[in-house]
Amino acid sequence: MDNFNFYAPTYFAFGKGKEAETGKLVKRFGGTKVLIHYGGGSVVRSGLLDRVKKSLDEEKIAYVELGGVKPNPRSGLVYEGIDLCRAEKVDFILAVGGGSAIDSAKAIAAGVVYDGDFWDFYEGKPVTAALPIGTVLTIAAAGSEGSPDSVITKEEGMVKRGASGEAYRPKFSVLNPELTQTLPAYQTACGITDIIAHLYERYLTNSKDVQVTDRMIEALILAMVEEAPKVIENPNDYEARANIMWGGMMAHNNSCGVGRSQDWSSHNIEHELSAEYDCAHGAGLAVTMPAVFTYNMNHDVMRFAQIAVRVWGCQMDFAHPERTAKAGIEALRSFLISIGMPKNFEELGAKEEDIEKLAHMACYGSENATGTVYGFVNLSQSDVENIYRLML
Amino acid sequence: MDNFNFYAPTYFAFGKGKEAETGKLVKRFGGTKVLIHYGGGSVVRSGLLDRVKKSLDEEKIAYVELGGVKPNPRSGLVYEGIDLCRAEKVDFILAVGGGSAIDSAKAIAAGVVYDGDFWDFYEGKPVTAALPIGTVLTIAAAGSEGSPDSVITKEEGMVKRGASGEAYRPKFSVLNPELTQTLPAYQTACGITDIIAHLYERYLTNSKDVQVTDRMIEALILAMVEEAPKVIENPNDYEARANIMWGGMMAHNNSCGVGRSQDWSSHNIEHELSAEYDCAHGAGLAVTMPAVFTYNMNHDVMRFAQIAVRVWGCQMDFAHPERTAKAGIEALRSFLISIGMPKNFEELGAKEEDIEKLAHMACYGSENATGTVYGFVNLSQSDVENIYRLML
C-alpha cells in the first residue's frame, strides 16, 4: 500500500426531507450571501428550488440565482457565474442538481477567488482555494457531492477536462433519495454506470497488497448490481434509491481508493465521446469500459479474474484464468445492457470516421498533453484508436 | 434505510514515517500548547515519543506530557490531565498510543472545557465541546482515531462506560503501520478482534434494505480474516499491517454503519469483563461475541445465514437456514481461536460465581440504567446471565 493523505470533511445530511436543512447548513458553514446554481426545468418544476429558497429565507440568508447548467457543463456559464458572484459579493456557492451543477459550481467557486482564468485549474493547476460549496443532490452518479473533483467542457474546441483539489470538497451535501425518484430510467442507469466506473477505475491498480480497498470496491459494485434492477423496474423504490445514493458517494470520496494507483483511462477516453457527441457521460462509459478492459486484460489477468469471481459470480477456471477474466468483462457488459445502456458506437451516436480525431484529442488535446493516456496501462494514440475500434 | 447525518472531518496521514508530520498537523489545526498523552514503556523505548517531540519542536510548538495511561483507561488520570491542561493553558491534546491513550485524551479534552464532572459525559450527556484532539496511533483496534467515541473506566466501582459526540472526532490522525510492527501477536489479535466486533455490531441490525452498508461491512470483515493470519505469522508484514490499520479505521468511523440500527450488546456485556478482571477488551470480545450471537441467532436467522455464506464461505442450507447461521458463528469462533484468542471464561480469567454480579452491572450499573441491554435483541438481566453461562 502506498503512503497517502485522506481528508473528506463533508457533512452529509441524508434522508427524506433533508433539503429543509439547507439554510441551517449554509449558516453553519459561514455563508451569508449565496449563489444558487442549478440546471433547469426539473429542479424548478418539482418545487425543490422553492423549498431550498424557503430554508434560506428562514435563516435570513440572501441569495442570487444562476440556472442553465447543461449536462457536460460548459465554461461559458462558469465565466458568467464568476462575474455574477463578484458583482453580488457572494460568499457561498450552493449547487442544486446533479454532477453537472456541482462541477460547474466548483469551477465558479475556484474562479471567484482566483486572479487568472479558471481554466488553468482544468489544465493541471491544483485547486488550493475556493469559496465554500454546498450541494443538494438530485442524481446518484458523479460522486461530486463528496469528492474533490470537477469536470468542465471548454466550448472553444469542445475540450473536456477535470480539476481537483481539497478546496473542491463540499462543506455539506444534502442527499435525499426521494429527489432521485422522478429520474427517468435512462438517466438513472447512466448514473449507476458512472458509479460503477468510479469503482472499476480504482480497482484497476498496479499497487500490490491492497486487499482492504479491493474488498470495499467489490462490495460497492456488488451493491450497485443488486440495487440497479430494482430502480429500473420501479423508479419509486426509495430503499434501492437510498442504497445507490450512499454507495455512489462512497464510490468516489476515495476512502476505497487510497494507497493505490488508479486507472482513469476509461473516463479520459469517454470524455472525448461526450464532448464530441454530447451523449450522457454514463452512456459513453457503458460503451467504453468493456472495450478498455478487454484491451488491457492481459496486463493483469488475475486481477480481472478476481473481480469476475468475487463480483460477477464467475467460476474460476484455474487452468485458464484468462477465460474467467473475460467472462467477468462480458458479465459487466451484459449487466450494463440489461439496465438499458448502449453497447456500441452506433447506439451511442458516435462515428467510426471520427476515431483518429477522438484518439488524437484524448492523447494531445490538453495544453500539457504528452501523447499518452496514463493509467493501469499507459496508452498511445494507436492504442486508443484500437480501443475505440472495439466499440464498433 | 433510516435518515442520518454523517460528518467525519478527520485528516489522515497514512504510511511510513508519517509521524514526522505531527508538528505540522498540530499547527494546521490551531494548536499552540500541546498535552502529549500516552501510556508508557513502548512509546518511549521505541523512540516514537522523541520523534513526535522533535516534530513539535520543529514547528516551535510548546508541550507538556502526561504518561501512564493503562489499558481500560481510568478516570483518575483523566482528572489529573484536566488539572494539568488548565494549569498549563493547553489548547490541543495529542494522544500517542492506542485506543486507551486516545480515549483518555478525549475525556481530558472534553473535561477541560466543561464546568462539571467529565464523568457526566459517560453517563449519557452528549459531548458538544472539547479541545481539539490529534492522534499518533500505535495499534489497529479501537478505531478511536476516526470515531466520535471514547470509553473510560471509573475507578470507584470499576464502572466502564462510553461517551460520544462530534467534538470527539480527532482533527487529525497519523496512521503509520510500521508503528504496529513491534506489537506482540496477542495484542495484535486482540486489536483485530475488536475491529471485527465493531463490524459485527453494525451488521446486526433491525433496519431493512441496508444492502450497501451490509456489503461494506462484509468486505471489511473478509479483509480482516485474510490479513490476520499474515501478521500473526509475521509481525513485520508491513502490507498486512497497513490493510488492517485502514480497515480498522473504516470499521469504526461509521461510514458503514449509517442509516441502520446497531447492536452494541457484545461490547456492553464485554465491558463488565474487562472492568472486573482487567483483561484485554479484544480478548473479552472473542469470548463474548459467539455467546451473544448464539443466544440471539433465532431473532433473525437469515441475517446470520447471510454473513455465514458471504464472509465465512459456508454453503447455504436452504432447507435448514439455521444450520448455516450456526456454522457461521462457529467459523467466527474457530477463526478467533486460530489467532490466539481465548475461548471461554476460564481462559479469560473470569469466574462462574461472578455471573449474577456481572449481569447486574451490565443491566443496572450506570446511573441512567433501565435494567435492559438494548440492541439487536433487548436483553434482561436473566438473558445476560444466560449469555455469560454460554461462555463457560
User: What pLDDT, in 10s, does the model give residues A249-302?
Assistant: 999 999 999 999 999 999 999 999 998 998 999 999 999 999 999 999 999 999
Give the integer Cα–Cα distance in Å for A78 and A351.
30
Instruction: Give residue B113's identity as a one-letter amino acid code.
Output: V
Residues of A in contact with B10 (CB under 8 A): 7
Predicted local distance difference test score (pLDDT) of residue A18: 98
Give the integer Cα–Cα distance in Å for A132 and A106.
9
Q: What's the distance, CA B5 to chain centroid?
A: 21
**Average pLDDT value for chain B:** 96
Query: What number is the ipTM of this complex?
Result: 0.96
pLDDT of B58 above 80: yes
Q: Tell me, yes or no, if A174 comes closer than 8 A to chain B by beta carbon.
A: no
Give the integer Cα–Cα distance in Å for A54 and A76.
29
Predicted local distance difference test score (pLDDT) of residue B365: 85
Q: Given A16, A218, A239, which is nearest B3 (Cβ)?
A: A16
pLDDT of B369 above 90: no
Residues of B in contact with A213 (CB under 8 A): 246
Residue of B203, B246, B254 to mutate for A, most A C-beta atoms under 10 A: B246
Give the integer Cα–Cα distance in Å for A104 and A146.
15
Give the integer Cα–Cα distance in Å for A233 and B106.
48
**Sheet strand arrangement including A133-137:** A62-66, A33-38, A92-97, A133-137, A172-175, A11-14, B4-7
Q: Could you tell me which residues come within 8 angstroms of residue B370 by beta carbon, excluding any fewer than 6 positions away?
A: none
Q: Tell me, yes or no, if A239 comes closer than 8 A to chain B by beta carbon.
A: yes
Q: Hey, are the CB atoms on B3 and A9 less than 8 Å from each other?
A: no
Predicted local distance difference test score (pLDDT) of residue B158: 84
Predicted local distance difference test score (pLDDT) of residue B367: 72
Residue of A10, A21, A29, A216 to mutate for B, most B C-beta atoms under 10 A: A216
Nearest CA in chain A to B8: A9
Q: Tell me, yes or no, if B15 comes closer than 8 A to chain A by beta carbon.
A: yes
pLDDT of B40 above 90: no
Which residue, B303, B214, B208, B241, is CA-closest to A216? Answer: B214
Predicted local distance difference test score (pLDDT) of residue B160: 86
Q: Hey, are the CB atoms on B6 and A14 less than 8 Å from each other?
A: yes
Give the integer Cα–Cα distance in Å for B48 and B37.
13
**pLDDT-flagged residues of chain A (< 70):** none
Predicted local distance difference test score (pLDDT) of residue B134: 98
Give the integer Cα–Cα distance in Å for B73 and A178.
45
Joined grid coordinates for residue B347 = 481462559
Q: What is the pLDDT of residues A51-108, one digit of tens each?
A: 999 999 999 999 999 999 998 899 999 999 999 999 999 999 999 999 999 999 999 9
Q: Tell me, yes or no, if B3 comes closer than 8 A to chain A by beta carbon.
A: yes
Q: Could you tell me which residues come within 8 angstroms of residue A204 by beta carbon, excluding any fewer than 6 positions away?
A: A262, A263, A293, A296, A300, A303, A375, A376
Total residues found in chain B within this entry: 392
Q: Tell me, yes or no, if A164 comes closer than 8 A to chain B by beta carbon.
A: no
Nearest CA-CA distance, residue A244 and chain B, Å = 8
Predicted local distance difference test score (pLDDT) of residue A349: 96
| Mean pLDDT value of segment B100-123 | 97
String of DSSP letters for A178-197? GGGTTS-HHHHHHHHHHHHH
Q: Hey, are the CB atoms on A11 and B5 less than 8 Å from each other?
A: yes
Q: Tell me, yes or no, if B199 comes closer than 8 A to chain A by beta carbon.
A: no
Predicted local distance difference test score (pLDDT) of residue B162: 92
Nearest CA-CA distance, residue A39 and chain B, Å = 26
Give the integer Cα–Cα distance in Å for A199 and B202.
23
Q: Given A208, A216, A239, which is nearest B216 (Cβ)?
A: A216
pLDDT of B366 above 90: no
Joined grid coordinates for residue A104 = 460547474
Predicted local distance difference test score (pLDDT) of residue A193: 98
Beta-carbon count within 10 A of B361 CB: 22
Listed by number, the residues of chain A in 253-282 with a beta carbon closer than 8 Å to a beta carbon of chain B are: 255, 258-259
Nearest CA in chain A to B219: A215
Residue of B212, B227, B245 to mutate for A, most A C-beta atoms under 10 A: B212
Q: Would you say B355 and B325 are in contact if contact means Cβ atoms under 8 Å apart?
A: no
Q: What is the pLDDT of residues B42-56, one digit of tens each?
A: 899 999 999 999 999
Residues of A in contact with B7 (CB under 8 A): 9-12
Listed by number, the residues of chain B in 332-351 with a beta carbon closer than 8 Å to a beta carbon of chain A are: none
Phi, psi of A150 (to 5 degrees): -155, 145
Q: Could you tell me which residues come within 8 angstroms of residue B90 by beta carbon, excluding any fewer than 6 positions away?
A: B33, B34, B35, B64, B84, B112, B131
Q: Tell me, yes or no, if B76 comes closer than 8 A to chain A by beta carbon.
A: no
Listed by number, the residues of chain A in 210-229 with a beta carbon closer than 8 Å to a beta carbon of chain B are: 210-216, 218-220, 222-223, 226-227
Q: Tell me, yes or no, if A15 comes closer than 8 A to chain B by beta carbon.
A: yes
Predicted local distance difference test score (pLDDT) of residue A119: 97
Q: Tell me, yes or no, if A5 comes closer than 8 A to chain B by beta carbon.
A: yes
Beta-carbon count within 10 A of A353 CB: 6
For cell 458583482, what's the residue? A87
